[in-house]
Amino acid sequence: MNDLIIAYQGVEGAYSHLACKNAYPKSLTIACDTFADAMKLVESGTANLAMIPVENSTAGRVEEMYRLIPELKLNIVKEHFEPVRHCLLGVQGSSLKSIKTVASHPQALAQCYKNISKYGFKAEAKFDTAGSAKEIKKLNDPTKAAIASKLAAKLYDLVILDENFGDKIGNTTRFIVLSNESTTPKYDKKEEFITSLVFNVRDIPAALYKALGGFATNGVNLLKLESYSPKGDLKVSQFHLDIDSHPHHPSFILALEELSFFAKDIKFLGTYRKDSYRVNI
């Protein structure tokens, strides 16, 4: 799509920036300090979409984003899976032997834990992967390295000391694309969809078991179940579901009827097509 403006958290060269370019090659991008800032740009109409990471195959869910999902004002319109190849980057003239500390986002540090330990580097948590690359470029210290993308190395003229610094091959991050628009794609039984929603359970025995029972009895697959404690109340549980279906599918309709008996404050976050990554694995 042409002329799309996509907001993302991070600085130029971040994996979220890379995801924007791979999912929407002709788009314009806006870097933001936080996930909330990126979403606010979409809410205000400054950007059309926000590219937000929610989970990684190595390090698990992006905790901060899952705290924001229950309060989401935007709609999920797409998912995108981005392969992550962590590179160890240093300034010109540095080497593996000269490095003492390595900086990056906590998620990236977690995904490179074994290699960081192997070399005996001191890990420093930073706000962003590409931001760490930008910082070591400014410091120009051969004892400092960053974990970031090849794009970051190119943008900040850094040396790639190890282009496969991640602990696992096949490391992948799942992103959701958020929009102000609330359009639901037309149901087609030949296509595969995901529907995301959040709900609270009623204060009755086995409420969650009963709320989810309708999906089991109607043969509807659940892809994800996340739990939260709403702000200011540890006595109430809120749940996020990714459902392997479309809301117009007959089985989904029946499952939703049962859910409504035992749940309250059901909020749809969006229905979108499965990324080809899911279909091909």
> Is CATH 3.40.190.10 correct for 5-83+172-179?
yes
| Amino acid identity, position 273 | R
Distance of CA 53 to the CA centre of its chain: 2
The residue among 40, 64, 42 whose CA lies nearest residue 53 is 64
User: Which CATH number among 3.40.190.10, 1.20.5.440, 3.10.20.30, 3.40.50.300 corresponds to the domain 87-162?
Assistant: 3.40.190.10
Rounded mean pLDDT, 183-206: 90
**Does residue 154 come out as left (phi exceeding 0), alpha (psi in the -120 to 50 range) or beta?**
alpha
Helices (H) and strands (E) in the chain, counts: 10, 15
The structure's pTM equals 0.86
Span 192-212, average pLDDT: 89
At 125-180, the pLDDT tens digits run 998 899 999 999 999 999 999 999 999 999 999 999 999 999 988 889 999 999 99
Q: Could you tell me how far CA 73 lies from the centroid of its own chain? A: 17
Residue 242 amino acid letter = D
Predicted local distance difference test score (pLDDT) of residue 262: 87
- From the list 96, 99, 110, 115, the residue with the least C-alpha distance to 165 is 115
In the sheet with 222-228, reading across from the earlier edge strand, the strands are 222-228, 238-243, 193-201, 263-273
Give the C-alpha separation, 274 to 191, whole Å.
8
User: Is 193-280 in the same CATH topology as 5-83+172-179?
Assistant: no
3-class SS string, 37-79: HHHHHHHHCCCCEEEEEEEECCCEECHHHHHHHHHCCCEEEEE
DSSP state of 274: P
| pLDDT value for 107 | 84
Contact between 58 and 111 under an 8 Å Cβ cutoff? The reply is: yes
Q: Distance (Å, rounded) from C-alpha 55 to C-alpha 106?
A: 13
- C-alpha 145/C-alpha 106 separation (Å) is 15
Structure tokens at 140: 């120009």
Listed by start position, the domains of the chain span 5-83+172-179, 87-162, 193-280
β-strand partners of 14: none
**From CA 175, how far away is CA 19, in angstroms rounded?**
8
Confidence category of residue 235, pLDDT binned at 50, 70, 90: low
List, by residue number, the catalytic residues: 173, 175
Q: Sorting pLDDT into bands at 50, 70 and 90, what band is 231?
A: low
N-to-C CA span, the chain: 26
Q: Which fold has domain 193-280?
A: Alpha-Beta Plaits (3.30.70)
Mean pLDDT of all residues belonging to the chain? 91
CA separation for the pair 263, 256 (Å, rounded)? 10
Highest mean pLDDT of the ranges 61-65, 245-249, 273-277: 245-249
Q: Is the pLDDT of residue 273 over 70?
A: yes
Residue 281 in this model has a pLDDT that exceeds 60: no
CA gap 198, 214 in Å, rounded: 16
